[in-house]
Structure formats: C-alpha cells, structure tokens
A and B are shown apart, each in its own frame.
Chain A
Amino acid sequence: MSRITPWEKAVRYVLLLAVLALTVGPFLWQLSTSLKSTTEDIYTSPPRFLPAHPTGHNYAEVAKIVPVWDYALNSLKVAAANVLTNLAGASMAGYALARLRFRGRRAAGLAFVAAVLVPLESIVVAQFTMMRDLELNNTLVAVVLPGAVGALNVLLMRNAFAALPYETEEAAVIDGANAWQRFVRVALPSVKGTLAVVAIFSFMGAWDDFLWPLIVLSDPDRFTLTVGLNYLHGTFQQDPRLVAAGTVIAVAPLVVMFVCLQRYFFRGVGEGAVKG
C-alpha cells in the first residue's frame, strides 16, 4: 500500500465532498423543497437549503391531485411480478442451458443472445400493436409481459450455474434425483447471490421503467408511478413543492433498498456489463 501525503489526502476529501454535493445534493434539494410550506418563498436568492417550517402538507396535497398512492401500488405490483417471473423463468432457462444436455441447446442459447442485442426501443411500437391485438392494452399485465423473463437475466443465470463444480450435483444424480429435483434442491441454493442480483435489478428496472408503461397505459387510473409523475408534472407544473413530494415518494423505496443491499447492486453492474 503506497503511502499518501496529508496534502493529497486533503485534496481527495475536498474532491469527494464536491462530487457528493453534485450527485446527492439535488436529491436533498428536492427533499427540502417538498417539505417547504406553501407560504414559504421557494425562489429566494441566495437559496435557503432548509425549510423554515418543515411540513408534510405537500405529501397530503399531491395525493389529492393525483392518486399517487395508487400509482405506487401499481408500481409495486408490476415490480413484484417482474421479480417473481424473472427469478423463476431465468433460473429455469439458465439451468437448462448450463446443465442439461439436449439437442437444440446451442440454438436456444443463441436466441437469448439475439434477444439481448435487439434494443427494446426499436420494438416498443411492435409490442404496443401486439398488446392491442391481444386486447391487453392499458393493463398492468401488459406492462409486465414483455420483460417477464429478461434475456440478460437468463444469460446471467446460465453463467452462474455453469460456474458450479459438477461434483455438487453428482451425489444427487447417484441418488436418482431427476433434473427438477437437482435444480431445486442442489443447484438453486448454490446461486443465491446471482438470484439476488436478478431480483434486485428486476425490481429496479420495473419500478424505474418509463417508455413502455407510458406507451401501453392510457387510463390515468392504471398509471405506474413514473408515468403518473410525468402526468402530474405536465398538469400541475406550477407548484414545484407538489412535484417534489411526488418524486420523493417515487425514489424513497429504491434508496432504502439500495442502502440495505448495496453489495448486490454493485455486483449486478459488473456481471451485467461484462457478460451482457
């Protein structure tokens, strides 16, 4: 470990604090705005960073204008469904690709690689027409379906299973366990870390997604949080306090989740980027 001079240390901390102000500052400013009362001037110069009389008023108010808690519930449903379908679908497919021998395995693997290469943005219109034909438009099911099993997640799970030593399953094979039993009892418990990564990124992806729900949902009652916030900001732009309250509601759950599960967030970036 190379030594570090006090001077360099000081410079490093100054830079770290500057970047901190740039990256986290805007969120705190938004939180502060959301807590400022209607009578407080939010346009002062120099800006006042702390609310004079912190109030939860804006949170109650925003819920009167748009059903923000219903939107949050819709987002939660979509995100939870996305986690479950991805965990089940990606681990099963990944296991088959990594551990089972059958004709067509290469072709199946290539299908997932091809799907990763197709940008979602270039097929959203086709997906939209498809949902119309299936008469699923404007439902939460339509929001979930296209990403129900992400191709990238399948490849992540395949890599995780492929990295397991064969001995793990050998004993189970000798005991006469079939593929399903080996999958559930032996293989799955050995890849918990990757499962956590898939779960977290599925949750975050669904909770934060904007383009697809914007296209497929047209009825304000069915909106997810992101689409609802866009709607709120388009209609009631005049009061930044209310928009701020809405954004805080949307971002808080993920920040809490991130603080608790950082390890997996970082691991997911590495695996997703390198193997995607």
Chain B
Amino acid sequence: MKRVRMHRAVSPWLFLLPGLGTVAAFNLYPFLTTFHKAFTDARTLTPGSWVGLRNFRELLEDEQFWVALRNSGLYVVLVVPFTVLLPLLLALLVQKRIPGVTFFRSAFYTPVVASVVVVALIWEWMLDDRGLVNAVLRFLGAGPVSFLGDEWLLLFSAMALTVWKGLGYYMIIYLAALANVPRELHEAAAVDGAGALRRFTAVTVPAVRSTMVLVGALSSVAAFKVFSEVYLLAGPTGGPAGQDTTLVMLLQRTGTGLGGRVGYSSAISLIVFAVALLLMLLVLRAGRRNGQG
C-alpha cells in the first residue's frame, strides 16, 4: 500500500521532468536573468555589477534605439492591417467549393512552409536592381526602382515580404472560423438584395470578428519582434546608415559576440517583452469592447 502511494506521488513529476526542466532552464530562467542583467553592466565575458537604471537612461539618449523603436513600431502599424484583411479575403476566395480549390488552398500555403531565409533571398533576387520586378518595370517602360538601396523602400519591401509570408497561415485560421458561419445568414442577406461588399461588412466581418482580433494580436506581436526579414534584406548593420535596424536586430547586435554588452541588450529585451505583452492586451481589449458595442 505504501509503495503504491509513493509511486503515485513521484511518477507525475517524472513525467513532467523533461518538459518542465527544459522550459524552466531555457525559457523561464533566461527570462529572470534578462530581468536582472538589464540593471547591470554585464558583458559576454564579465558578470558585471548593479547599475540601477543606467542602461535605460542610456537607451533614451541612443539614437539607434529610437530608430529601431520607430521601425519596429511602424512595422506593426503598417503590416497588421494587411495581415488582418488580406488573408480573410483570401479565405473567402478559397472557401467556395469549386473544382481545384483545394489545390489552390495548399499552394497558397507554400510561403509559410519555407524558411524566412529562403523567401528573403528569393525576394532579394526579385527586387534586385536588375531582377525580375525591375525587368518587368523596364519592359513596361518604367523604373528601374532601387527597392533595396533606399532606406524606406527597403523597409517597405521587408514589410511586404512579411505580409506575403503570413498570408497562407492566417488564411487557414480564417477558414476554420468561416466554416462556422451559418450559410443561411449569407443567403438571407443575398435574398434581401445585399451586394457582395455589403454582405462582407454586414455578415462576414461580424461573424469572424473574434478571429480578426486573434489574428491582429498574433500578427502585431510578431511584427513588433521582426528580425529575419529586415536583417536579410538590409544586412546585419541595418541598411543605409543603419536606418533600417529593428529592435530585435539591435538587441542581437549589441548583446552577442565576444564583446557583447549583455546588460544593455537585456534592457532592450525587456522593452521588447513589455511592448509585445502590451500589444497583445491592447488588441484583445479592443476586440472585447467592439464586441459589446
């Protein structure tokens, strides 16, 4: 009897050990050390000592930080409306059961499966001064446009890449939501003479509103944390005069390598964490308020 009880008490923790151990050691513990190190002058090779808010005061005066904050913020503002709306339209397009539609549905998902490195290199080649896009523009008698030479065009190109890569992912999320919209609603609206646009705003949008909020939350957090797209298109130093640096690029650049300023970089990390959490809460709250109104 005693053996059995012992067994009961111990075995759940044995089941949990690998998972809980990994998560505690490599997610939760690094988070705590990041919190601590943000208030120290730690470097990669030295543990450093407590400096209070000095890192944060330095950040306020660091021009690169403001550039990075602006870029990451702009990324949210300009990317999220597209990732909320375009995949919904796409989902409506592939929802109707017409021959071959499942093929299209799968094909649209391809960019999601590919690594961001692969798609960034594909886009870099397409947007090259002598690449596909400019070849087409030249053929039409326009351009060439130096997409990757100008700080703003470069940032916008990276944003377009982010939207493009996420289309299929969010489309699938919307498809699941659309499957639950009663068809009668659409038919009733059609009988009442509502056009396609009216049906979209009056029937579809209200029906998938909570999914739109979810997509908004997911994509705004993802957009704020952007790294790879910009890093690959603009290069490690963030494009012309570093003007395309994002926050995560900045924390990666300052915090790693042999001379990495871990303390300073941790302060940036905390800001990324705080803003990501805030964005999530804001979007979810906005969704709830709209729902009641």
Residues of A near any B CB (own CB < 8 A): 1-2, 4, 9, 12-13, 15-16, 19-20, 22-24, 26-27, 29-30, 33, 43-47, 85, 88-90, 92-97, 100-102, 105, 108, 111-112, 114-115, 117-119, 121-130, 132, 145-149, 151, 154, 178-180, 183, 204, 207-211, 214-215, 225-226, 229-230, 233-234, 240, 243-244, 246-247, 250-251, 254-255, 257-259, 262, 265-266, 269-270, 273-274
Contacting residue for B34 out of A96, A126, A149, CB 8 A: A126
Contact A26 B122 (CB under 8 A): yes
The number of residues on chain B lying at the interface, defined by a beta carbon within 8 Å of a beta carbon of chain A, is 96
B117 on interface, CB distance cutoff 8 Å:
yes
State in angstroms the CA–CA spacing of A108 and B96 once bound together.
Answer: 44
State in angstroms the CA–CA spacing of A255 and B118 once bound together.
Answer: 12
Contact B126 A92 (CB under 8 A): no
Contact B117 A210 (CB under 8 A): yes
State in angstroms the CA–CA spacing of A259 and B31 once bound together.
Answer: 38
Contacting residue for B19 out of A112, A225, A258, CB 8 A: A112
Write the nearest CB–CB distance from A218 to chain B, whole angstroms: 9
Contact A23 B30 (CB under 8 A): no
Greatest chain A CB density within 10 A among B34, B134, B138, B221 is at: B34
State in angstroms the CA–CA spacing of A96 and B31 once bound together.
Answer: 25
Contacting residue for B108 out of A23, A119, A126, CB 8 A: A23
User: Which B residues are in CB contact (< 8 Å) with A27?
Assistant: 110, 114, 122
A sample of 7 cross-chain residue pairs with beta-carbon separation below 8 angstroms, ordered by A number, consists of: A12-B96, A30-B125, A85-B18, A115-B27, A208-B115, A262-B109, A269-B172
Evaluate whether A244 and B125 lie within 8 angstroms (CB atoms) in the complex, with A19-B90, A126-B266, A265-B109 already known.
yes
Evaluate whether A93 and B16 lie within 8 angstroms (CB atoms) in the complex, with A16-B104, A266-B172 already known.
yes
Binds A, one of B58-66, B76-84, B225-233: B225-233
Contact A210 B173 (CB under 8 A): no
Write the nearest CB–CB distance from B36 to chain A, whole angstroms: 9
State in angstroms the CA–CA spacing of A224 and B109 once bound together.
Answer: 24
Write the nearest CB–CB distance from B65 to chain A, whole angstroms: 15
Write the nearest CB–CB distance from B213 to chain A, whole angstroms: 12
Contact A255 B113 (CB under 8 A): yes
The chain B residue with its CB closest to the CB of A48 is: B135
B193 on interface, CB distance cutoff 8 Å:
no
Contact A125 B256 (CB under 8 A): yes
Greatest chain A CB density within 10 A among B23, B110, B168, B262 is at: B23
Contact A44 B173 (CB under 8 A): no
User: Which B residues are in CB contact (< 8 Å) with A122?
Assistant: 31, 34, 225, 251, 269-270, 272-273, 276
Write the nearest CB–CB distance from B23 to chain A, whole angstroms: 5
Interface residues of B in 1-57 (CB under 8 A from A): 7-9, 11-13, 15-16, 18-20, 22-24, 26-31, 33-34, 37, 42, 44
The 9 closest A-B pairs by CB, nearest first: A93-B19, A125-B255, A126-B30, A208-B115, A96-B15, A89-B18, A146-B26, A102-B12, A45-B135
